[in-house]
Chain A
């Protein structure tokens, strides 16, 4: 079956633009996670959904970051008024169960470059 897919794979934005990053999790996966991975660093947690409910958004770095998963499947991470420090790879992961302990399957990421 298909794994986690993300689109676009690459995004270049001018400072101040809004961007939307899409994640298609593995079908039937309950949990969905967003991470930010800076160059040469490990992924850093942003937010976590269980079905359509956003249970944890403690990792979102500012109120310019917003995530949604309205039907409990596809998720969108939106960044408003992008800044250069937002440049990173944004990873999405999904898990089949409702526990954060279960194996997370990662997508290939979206590389965002803010000029």
Chain B
């Protein structure tokens, strides 16, 4: 029940295209859902986060869509750029607990 599932495992997108990464969870106690971006040899860095009281949050080219009833959330990267090539992790947390990370999606944006 603590698991966060993430798909796809890897994604190749042309420059300017839309990258979409999906996550699903079972634990209805989760109430905070961040996305982290990780470049090779670096630690993860917070990209954007959402709470379940909103269905969408947008920051620049990055948008989180949240479907509470389906227990799913997704990251959309608009106008994808080669510099966006990295591994993306969704995560979830419940009050008094600690972050549970998804297995990651390796994104490659072709020039």
**Complex CA–CA separation, A99 to B21 (angstroms):** 27
Cα-based distance from A104 to B11 in the complex (angstroms) = 26
| Chain B CB within 10 A, most for which of A4, A44, A100, A109 | A100
- Interchain CB contact under 8 A, B42 and A108: yes
Q: Which residues of B contact A108 (CB under 8 A)?
A: 41-43
A-B contact count (CB 8 A): 49
Instruction: Tell me if B98 and A56 are in contact (CB < 8 A).
Output: yes
Q: Known: A41-B104, A42-B89. Contact between A100 and B43, CB under 8 A? A: no
Greatest chain A CB density within 10 A among B41, B44, B93 is at B44
A residues engaging B (CB < 8 A)?
4, 33, 40-45, 48, 56, 59, 91, 93, 100-101, 103-109
Extra 8 A-B pairs, beta carbons < 8 Å, given A33-B99, A108-B42: A40-B103, A42-B6, A44-B101, A101-B93, A104-B46, A106-B44, A107-B43, A108-B43
